[in-house]
Amino acid sequence: MLGLALRRAGGPRRLGQALRFLAADEANGGPMASPMPAAKLIAEVPPIQVHSSFTAVCDGGGGPLGHPVEYIQLDTRQPDKIETCKYCGLRFQHAGHH
């Protein structure tokens, strides 16, 4: 985005003007504006029910867009407690008792 603002401003010598363009784009719903924050989007995803064990495994979808594998313990003192992945925010809950 800063590159676009710099091109609009006419080059790096006018950085202040470029930043004003960038702020104006954001204020007017331009390319920097997001219709819904990521935290709100991830909160709409229901907790993933884990049936097989007390450990959930989250890799953020794997591949180049994922994150490091995180093993999330679900065998806490509160059996219905929802645990959250520290990287992507997905929530996990144990579905039942063994």
Structural domain boundaries of the chain?
Answer: 1-33, 38-94
Task: Tell me if residue 65 falls in helix, strand or coil.
Answer: helix
Summarize pLDDT for 26-52 with one digit per residue, the tens.
Answer: 555 555 556 678 888 888 999 999 998
Global pTM exceeds 0.85: no
- In the numeric block, which tokens belong to residue 91? 């929530």
Q: What is the residue whose two structure tokens read 């794997």? A: 62
- For 38-94, CATH gives 2.60.260
- pLDDT, residue 23, reads 66
CA–CA distance from 3 to each of 16, 17, 21, 68, 70 (Å)?
Answer: 13, 13, 11, 30, 35
Enumerate residue ranges in the chain where pLDDT < 50.
Answer: 2, 5-6, 9, 98
Structural element, H or E, at residue 52: none
